[in-house]
Amino acid sequence: MSKREQEIIAAAAAIFKEKGYQAATTRDIAAAVGIQQATLYYYVKSKEELLYLVVREPVDRLYMQVEAIMKTSLPARVKIEQGIGAHLAAFDDNYPHMLVFVQELHNVVQTLRDRLRGFPRRYQSLWEDILRQGVMAGELRSDLDITATALMILGMCNWMFRWYQKGGRLDAQTLAKQYAETILDGLTARPAS
Amino acid sequence: MSKREQEIIAAAAAIFKEKGYQAATTRDIAAAVGIQQATLYYYVKSKEELLYLVVREPVDRLYMQVEAIMKTSLPARVKIEQGIGAHLAAFDDNYPHMLVFVQELHNVVQTLRDRLRGFPRRYQSLWEDILRQGVMAGELRSDLDITATALMILGMCNWMFRWYQKGGRLDAQTLAKQYAETILDGLTARPAS
């Protein structure tokens, strides 16, 4: 991928995040790169193509990371910690591409479904697998609905797209540690043992 | 409010949810009610006004409910359970109005900031107050960041807007109970005591 293409994708990510996918135009994106709209169409064929280019790599990478975690024989606790870590790190490492992905999930799912091979649903299934393994091994509570719990974890992680700012007070690693501890051990204070 | 106005607001909520606020038009909304676009403008002055009418009541009600919970002298545990219950019930009772609110938060905050008197921020503060009270009382762990934890709870609750369907397999009350238990006690299996 040429330097110019990389610039275009970075500008598209920033403008999709700022204006939203629907309101953003290829004219805005061309202007941000300092090129004519016609020149932009030399590199990419549509706004839809740009959305795909913005989200594809970070989304594929996150899926593969969590799939690898799921397939290990680590305790469920460690899998959950590592999975939350990978998820939040994806927001940080691919800022603002992953934020665009979550913010525009509705558009992504409608326009890119086939090309992302059902990503959101497949990713949720990975998390359900991790939880199910943990319940089967007796490590996790068996009285909780697996799907609801997976969606709860995805929700608390994905909500970052509303407020996360790279370089802010709380970094992704600190957040991941706190989120994993809360989800595994709860907020309730326990007597020192 | 006349029956016709109620119909218009209900149609607006359904269409904002389906198409997104940016893509939705007052023509779509008028068509859904079976009236002319010009007639719709007799009742409401703009699409922005419709967004406000869709979200105002459920948002105000949820704020007041959680504020009332925060001001009681109940244990933090009960406040968190009741607060999550009120939050998820708001999605269910005001379907799909609250889903529109969360889905369109970016647009809501930009266009309705003054009229909702800084709702999302004020609501987050209520949750921070509940958590802070719990830490001060020794009921909740003191090693977790209050803001990060509040955003985590809001995230797991708000994420419902992506997948919740009224009348689906999991009702809001069951979900609220499971979410509160997980957040308070964790997913880790504990030996029977």
pLDDT computed for residue A21 by the predictor: 86
Please count the structural domains in chain B.
1
Chain A partners within 8 Å of B160 (Cβ): 155
Confidence of residue B112 (pLDDT cuts 50, 70, 90): confident
| b/e B114-144 (16+ beta carbons within 10 angstroms → b) | eebeebbeebbebbbbbbebbbeeebbbeeb
Q: Judge whether B77 lies within some domain.
A: yes
User: How far, in Å, CA of A115 to CA of A109, rounded?
Assistant: 10
Mean pLDDT across chain B: 91
Residues near B154 by Cβ (< 8 Å), separated by ≥ 6? A159, B87, B123, B124, B127
Which residues of chain A have a pLDDT value below 50? Answer: none
Q: Judge whether B19 lies within some domain.
A: no
Q: Does A155 touch chain B (CB under 8 A)?
A: yes
User: How far, in Å, CA of B177 to CA of A152, rounded?
Assistant: 12
Give whole-number Cα distances, A110 to A8, A48, B121, in Å.
23, 11, 31
- Decide: B71 and B54 in contact? Cβ < 8 Å: no
Chain A partners within 8 Å of B149 (Cβ): 178, 182, 187
- Decide: B120 and B189 in contact? Cβ < 8 Å: no
Q: Judge whether B95 lies within some domain.
A: yes
CB contact under 8 A, B175 and A134: no
CATH number at residue A162: 1.10.357.10
Q: Judge whether B32 lies within some domain.
A: no
Question: What is the DSSP annotation of B101-146?
Answer: HHHTHHHHHHHHTTTTTTHHHHHHHHHHHHHHHHHHTTSB-SSS-H
Instruction: Quick: pLDDT tens for B164-181.
Output: 888 889 899 999 999 999
Q: Judge whether B26 lies within some domain.
A: no
Q: pLDDT at residue B193 above 70?
A: no
Instruction: Quick: pLDDT tens for B63-88.
Output: 999 999 999 999 999 999 999 999 99
User: How far, in Å, CA of A119 to CA of A126, rounded?
Assistant: 11
User: How far, in Å, CA of A144 to CA of A167, rounded?
Assistant: 36
- Nearest Cα residue in chain A from B143: A178
Q: Judge whether B85 lies within some domain.
A: yes
Give whole-number Cα distances, B130 to A68, B14, B71, B83, in Å.
38, 33, 9, 9
User: How far, in Å, CA of A165 to CA of A128, rounded?
Assistant: 29
How close A147 comes to chain B (CA, Å)?
10
Chain B partners within 8 Å of A163 (Cβ): 151
Give the range of the structural domain holding residue A181, as residue numbers without chain letter: 55-185
- Decide: A133 and B163 in contact? Cβ < 8 Å: no
Q: Judge whether A9 lies within some domain.
A: no
Instruction: Quick: pLDDT tens for B26-73.
Output: 999 999 999 999 999 999 999 989 999 998 888 899 999 999 999 999
Q: pLDDT at residue B11 above 70?
A: yes
Q: What percent of chain B has pLDDT over 90?
A: 66
Over range B99-112, report the average pLDDT.
Answer: 80
Q: How are the residues of chain B apportioned to helix, strand and coil, as percentages rounded to the nearest 5?
A: 70, 0, 25
User: How far, in Å, CA of A90 to CA of A84, rounded?
Assistant: 10
Residues near A101 by Cβ (< 8 Å), separated by ≥ 6? A54, A55, A58, A59, A108
pLDDT computed for residue B192 by the predictor: 64
pLDDT computed for residue A193 by the predictor: 56
- Looking at the DSSP bridge assignments, the partners of residue A140 are B188
Q: Does B191 touch chain A (CB under 8 A)?
A: no
Q: How many CA atoms lie within 13 A of A172 on its CB side?
A: 23
Over range B127-149, report the average pLDDT.
Answer: 96
Q: Judge whether A5 lies within some domain.
A: no
CB contact under 8 A, A178 and B149: yes
User: How far, in Å, CA of A20 to CA of A13, rounded?
Assistant: 10
